[in-house]
Each structure stands twice: as structure tokens, then as C-alpha cells.
Homo-oligomer: A and B are copies of this chain.
Amino acid sequence: MPAKLSDVARLAGISKTTASFALNDEGGTRGISPDTVMRVKAAARQLGYVPNQASRFLRKGRQHLVGFLAPNINDSFYASIAQGIETAAEKHGYQVLFGSTFSNIERERRYIESLVARRIDGLVILPTDIKAHHLDLLHHHHVPTVMFRRRAVSRRKCKFMTFDDVESARLPVAHLAARGCRNIGLVVETQLALPEWLSIILDARIDGYRRALRDAGLRFRRDNILEIGYSGSEKHVTATVEKYLNSRKPDGLFAIEDLYYLRMKNALDRLGLRVPQDIKVVGCDNSYYCPYLSPPLSSVVFPQEELGRMMMEELEGMIGGSRGPSGEILLPPTLAARQSSK
């Protein structure tokens, strides 16, 4: 239905060949007379001609299409990464096909197959299970791939990028120590039934916490770690936190998620503990509401968009052949210091 090259050619009274050259005229390598070029371009405009990428690809072999597979997009973490990928992709003339795996192996497999069928030029993926068989399909079809977050021992050589998880805890705890805290607590998620990859991250963070304490000459105590989850009623959480605050009497806290601090607020208020005078707090993820809390919450910031951008740049390099297919890059987080840890 839409106009095709032959229509344009006919209207311009010229052959397909010449029309094609006239339109894709790259610096006049092929000497087409200026007059012809004008005529063809005019005809194209008149017909609203837009070349068909699919058939173009069939000849040229490049789709200018990459995929991004993550658990879901409805999550500011992945969404920010997606944004970074998309921005970088656009700059290089690529478009991004997004798919949510919901961490479901079968769904992920279907997606990978579809993407391969579309002959995407590259893929950024947060694999559900790095050992899954369907990832071989990518390798077999020579799809340049960048993986992130799911670190695990793997026999496969691949390109891996993520945040430096150890540093993400060391940094804020060192910051609290430098502010004079001597008894710093760590607030984490409940540890039962954590998926493997998450517990790898958690371990790294606890490691960073230990390291910062050691560097500051402070002692690590396992019962300074408080477990809070998403679940658990308001009441239950408040009680747990109160007990913890009363028995441990921390003067500093690093919460592994900003939200955990929000959930502690109640208990803090009830015990009359003022932030930051009585207890200094740093959260993690730099949620968009941090600056608006009172006092504004200091938080660890992961450069998510930056990671997305870097992954796309890396992918672009792999596609173009200027970057190898394996290697590991860790991106360090930074700290947004605000009132809550002053």
C-alpha cells in the first residue's frame, strides 16, 4: 500500500537503480546528475515514500536494532537503565526492542528466540539464570551480548557489567564513620529465601560494610545488622526496629534501600531520636523523593543511566568489531550527601 521505490522511480521517469542512488546519495560517489536527484527527491516527497527497512536489511544485513531484556520495566532501576540504553542507541542510529522476562525462564527463552529471529544486532540482558541453555542460542547466532547484574560462575565467556556492590556499602559506612559515628548499624532485607544472585549482592555489601568498619577502626558485630523486608505489617516492623534501636543504640545507620529508612521512621520518632543530631542515616538508591524528605535523606547513587549508556556503547563496539566479546566492568556508585548525615 505505501509507496515503494519503483513508484518513486516511475513518477520521476527513471529506473529503480538510479532512484535508489539518488536517494542514498552519499557525497556523490556515484555521479548522479543534480537534476535527476532533485526530480527523484521531489517524487519521493510527493508520494510520502519511506524506504522499507526489512527489505533493506535483507540486502545489507544490518537491522540497527538491539534488544533489552530485564525482569520488568515497571521499576525505576531497570527503567533508568533502559533510558540510558535507549539514549545511547538513538545516538548511534539503533532502536531498542524491550522485553520483560518477569524472571521467568520460559518467557525469556521465547523472547530470545524472537529476537534472534528478528536478527537483532545485539542484546543487553539481565539473565534470569546465567546457566540457562537458551543463552547458547545467542552465542550460536553470533549475537553480541552484554550481561548485567546476574553474576555467577559461568563457563561461558561473556561481557559483563554491573555496579560495584562492595563499594556501595563501604562508601556510605565510611562516610558515616568520617562524620563521627562509632556504632554504625546496617539495615538489610530479610535474608530467608533470597535468590542466589541477590544473596551474592547482599554478601558483597556486608563485605563492604565490614571493610569500612575495619578501615575506621571499628568493630563488626553481627547483631548490628537489622533485617527489614517489604512484607511485614507496619506494626510489626515498628516493634522490631524499636527493639533494635533500644538494644543496639546505633549512632549511624546505612539502609540498603531508601525505603527501609521510611519504614523505620515511625520507631525513630517514637523513641524521640532526631536525625541527624542523635542518629545519622544514609539510604541507598537515591530515590527521587530523597531530597524532599525532612530532613533530606543522604543516599548512595547508582549511575543507572550511565550504566545503560555504557552497555550500549560497549555493544556498539562489539557490533562494529572494535570491542572483544568478553570482559568485566564494575561501575562505582557515588554518594549524595544530604542533611540526614550532616
A interface with B by C-beta (< 8 Å): 1-2, 48, 50-55, 57-58, 63, 72-76, 79-80, 82-83, 86-87, 90, 95-100, 107, 113-114, 116-119, 137, 140-142, 234, 259, 262-263, 265-266, 269, 287-289, 292-294, 296, 305
Contacts and interface: CB of A to CB of B under 8 A. Distances in A.
A253 B313 CA distance: 47
Chain B CB count within 10 A is highest, among A53, A55, A296, for A53
Given A2-B141, A54-B63, 17 more contacts: A1-B141, A2-B140, A50-B113, A50-B137, A53-B114, A54-B54, A72-B83, A73-B83, A74-B76, A83-B100, A86-B100, A90-B100, A95-B114, A96-B98, A259-B292, A265-B294, A266-B294
A293 B262 CA distance: 6
A264 to B, nearest CB: 10
A142 B50 CA distance: 13
Contact of A117 (B50, B76, B234): B50
A143 to B, nearest CB: 10
A80 B87 contact: no
Given A63-B54, A289-B289, A142 B1 contact: yes
B294 A269 contact: yes
Nearest to A267: B294
21 contacts: A1-B141, A2-B119, A48-B140, A50-B113, A51-B117, A52-B119, A53-B114, A53-B117, A54-B57, A54-B58, A73-B79, A74-B83, A86-B98, A86-B99, A86-B100, A90-B107, A95-B97, A234-B292, A234-B296, A269-B294, A289-B289
Given A118-B53, A119-B54, A74 B63 contact: no
Contacts of A76: 74, 76, 79
